[in-house]
Chain A
Amino acid sequence: MNNLWGIYTIWYRDLLRFWRDKARMVTSLAFPLLFLVVFGSGLSGSMGMLAPGVNFSKFIFPGIIGMTVLITSFMSGVSVVWDREFGFLKEVLVAPISRVAVAAGKTLGGATIALIQGTLILVFAPLFGVTFPLKILPQLLPVMFLVACALSAMGIFLGSRIKSMEAHQAVMQLLMFPMIFLSGVFFPVNNLPLWMNVLVKINPVTYGVDSIRQLVLGAEPAAALGITIFGHTMSIAEDLMIVAAFGVLMVVLAMWSFGSQE
């Protein structure tokens, strides 16, 4: 019971800080929206149809949702580095709540913020000429949240290991861009050269993006663009199992890392 309260308190503080920082909310949306407009509109004409009924604009939209969730989740680790730099981490570490609860609260906080950002992309999408069936929302939002949880846990884990702001920023960029570019956000992942194919398939983000894409585009056109492993095309459920397994691993690592903080 105490731990649930602890998780809630940590989560609540992160959301409160997010809410205070409206500038961050807007600027972190600008980047994905820019991609959506520039790539979507710019390349749609010249790329033609990627699958029956799917032009590049349509193709890239679910990818951009995935990317937004990824960037925001990943960046949630910054809050740990930040708290260390400004001393607040000590207040958290000497509090009589378990470190497991701290890691869980931080992960859920980061995931919730990522879900909000992803949802905002959904809200703004029609303004940029991208539409999607509203009836998928009850499935889409939980899927986005699962992806957000897995990646937030990774962000929190890295944030708790890396002590300086500068190093954290460097590591984030080093990891984030390959994870975005090699995840099928910007191009279909079938017919890739072997080395790239391998990297794409060991990237957990690939499966998150694929599950979102299958939901948004519908199973059939997405299947043509989907991920095949040893001849087997991944279903949404299989995608999500991989994401969940990765998420569990990261949550455990984050909890261990907080437990060993001095």
Chain B
Amino acid sequence: MSKSHIIEVEHLVKKYANLAAVNDVTFSVEPGEIFGLLGPNGAGKTTTINILCTLSKPTSGKALINGFDIVRQQGQVRQCIGLVFQDPSLDERLTALENLDFHSRVYNIPASLRAERTEQVLKMVEPWERRRDVVKTFSGGMKRRLELARGLLHHPRVLFLDEPTLGLDPQTRNRLWEFILGLQKTEGTTIFLTTHYMDEAEYADRIAVMDYGQLIALDSPEVLKGMVGGDMISLSTTDDQKAQTELKERYNIQPEYDDGQISFEIADGSRFIPTLIKGLKTEILSISLRRPTLDDVFLKLTGHRLRDEAVRSEFKEIVRQMGRHQRRR
């Protein structure tokens, strides 16, 4: 393992009974990078984060953060990471200031720095006037921003964000992202992010795509999108089956079918559409052309879309129950 990586993960496995929530995952993250872990619900993103931040022990494999082993040097690992969880983790009965004060004490921030740091992070994310208000009275977006401020208070080397903008309105999401990007620039903080929002993953320098506990691709968003090549055309027709056969036979195209939409990639989409409209025997109901997105990449890699939620939530529920079962033992 070279010294220059801030996060090193090798053959990480987490099993619940016979189910591998994380299955032999290997990757590394460079200092100052925004690293995105992308995948549908239940893909193993949160389990991976929980292992990296010492909340859960791996079944096998190894991981280092800032050179510290996540199993044997938990104290050091915890000191150099900051976390914003998927679910809220503030003490709602305390004020914003009290929550931050608790955090600075348990993270050993020297008393002389505490007030200054607290003011600095709070002013970045919150109306400073509300610092003495009980957190219970805050809106969802304010709470999430306060959590972000708290995660930054001890100047972590790595900031873990587990679905940081889940359930937030677009405006708040944008503000949060402005802040995160600024932070990465000014402080050089490494950001490790999980998300299933495509547009959010685009902020990342590199994206690891995860599905059913395995890493299936790892590269920059541009390269990943390049895998799709060309443009994406989606269409719906009066007889999708027939249209697909036609596409295969006449244009030598391998279409994907998902959610009532036929979609395929083609080098020069805008020129192909007129040809298609004239040539296709099946009646076209709608047709659209767009640049490939990470969702298309995901479809290409796995054969299903990121938003295939039904199966996923079932899988996630199994993982959750197994986890509970194991914790009880």
Residues in chain A within 8 A of chain B (CB atoms): 2, 5-6, 8-10, 13, 16-17, 20-21, 83, 86-98, 163, 262
Task: Beyond the given A83-B91, A91-B102, A91-B103, please list 15 additional residue pairs across the A-B interface where CB-CB is below 8 A.
Answer: A2-B108, A6-B105, A9-B106, A10-B106, A13-B102, A21-B93, A86-B88, A87-B87, A87-B89, A87-B90, A88-B90, A90-B89, A96-B78, A163-B328, A262-B327
- Across the interface, do B94 and A17 meet the contact criterion of CB distance under 8 Å? yes
Contact of B91 among A21, A88, A262 (CB under 8 A): A88
Residues in chain B within 8 A of chain A (CB atoms): 53-57, 75-76, 78-79, 81, 83, 85, 87-94, 98, 102-103, 105-108, 150, 323-324, 327-328
Contact of B107 among A20, A86, A96, A98 (CB under 8 A): A96
B157 vs chain A, min Cβ distance (A): 13
Some 28 contacts from A to B, beta carbons below 8 A apart, are: A5-B105, A5-B108, A8-B105, A13-B98, A17-B93, A17-B94, A86-B89, A86-B92, A87-B85, A87-B89, A88-B90, A88-B91, A89-B89, A90-B55, A90-B83, A91-B90, A91-B102, A93-B55, A94-B54, A94-B78, A94-B81, A95-B103, A95-B106, A95-B107, A163-B324, A262-B55, A262-B57, A262-B323
Complex-state Cα separation, A10 to B105, whole angstroms? 10
Residues on B with C-beta less than 8 A from A10 are 106
- Across the interface, do B94 and A262 meet the contact criterion of CB distance under 8 Å? no
Give the residue among A2, A13, A90, A94 with the most B Cβ atoms within 10 A. Answer: A94
- Across the interface, do A98 and B75 meet the contact criterion of CB distance under 8 Å? yes
A-side interface mostly: helix
Q: When A and B form their complex, which 10 residue pairs have the shortest distance between CB atoms, in order from nearest? A: A87-B89, A96-B78, A95-B106, A9-B105, A96-B79, A91-B89, A90-B89, A88-B91, A262-B56, A87-B87
Residues on B with C-beta less than 8 A from A21 are 93
Residues on B with C-beta less than 8 A from A93 are 55
Complex-state Cα separation, A5 to B105, whole angstroms? 7
Complex-state Cα separation, A262 to B325, whole angstroms? 12
A229 vs chain B, min Cβ distance (A): 37
B194 vs chain A, min Cβ distance (A): 15
Asked if A94 meets B90 with Cβ closer than 8 Å, knowing A6-B106, A9-B106, the reply is no
Residues on B with C-beta less than 8 A from A96 are 75-76, 78-79, 106-108
Residues on A with C-beta less than 8 A from B93 are 17, 20-21
- Across the interface, do A16 and B89 meet the contact criterion of CB distance under 8 Å? no
Residues on B with C-beta less than 8 A from A16 are 94, 98
A15 vs chain B, min Cβ distance (A): 12
B91: nearest residue on chain A (CB-CB)?
A88
Residues on B with C-beta less than 8 A from A94 are 53-55, 78, 81, 83
Residues on B with C-beta less than 8 A from A87 are 85, 87-90
Give the residue among B89, B323, B327 with the most A Cβ atoms within 10 A. Answer: B89
Complex-state Cα separation, A8 to B328, whole angstroms? 29
Residues on A with C-beta less than 8 A from B328 are 163
- Across the interface, do A17 and B56 meet the contact criterion of CB distance under 8 Å? no
A91 vs chain B, min Cβ distance (A): 5
A17 vs chain B, min Cβ distance (A): 6
Asked if A13 meets B78 with Cβ closer than 8 Å, knowing A5-B108, A87-B85, A262-B55, the reply is no
A260: nearest residue on chain B (CB-CB)?
B327
B66 vs chain A, min Cβ distance (A): 13
Give the residue among A6, A96, A163, A262 with the most B Cβ atoms within 10 A. Answer: A96
Residues on B with C-beta less than 8 A from A17 are 91, 93-94
B188 vs chain A, min Cβ distance (A): 21
A90: nearest residue on chain B (CB-CB)?
B89
B326: nearest residue on chain A (CB-CB)?
A262
B76: nearest residue on chain A (CB-CB)?
A96
A222 vs chain B, min Cβ distance (A): 41
Residues on A with C-beta less than 8 A from B81 are 94
Complex-state Cα separation, A97 to B79, whole angstroms? 9
B108: nearest residue on chain A (CB-CB)?
A2
Complex-state Cα separation, A2 to B108, whole angstroms? 7
Complex-state Cα separation, A5 to B107, whole angstroms? 10
Complex-state Cα separation, A96 to B157, whole angstroms? 14
A5: nearest residue on chain B (CB-CB)?
B105
Contact of B85 among A2, A13, A90 (CB under 8 A): A90
Residues on A with C-beta less than 8 A from B88 are 86-87
- Across the interface, do A9 and B55 meet the contact criterion of CB distance under 8 Å? no
- Across the interface, do B78 and A95 meet the contact criterion of CB distance under 8 Å? yes
Complex-state Cα separation, A84 to B98, whole angstroms? 19
Complex-state Cα separation, A62 to B189, whole angstroms? 59
Complex-state Cα separation, A9 to B107, whole angstroms? 11
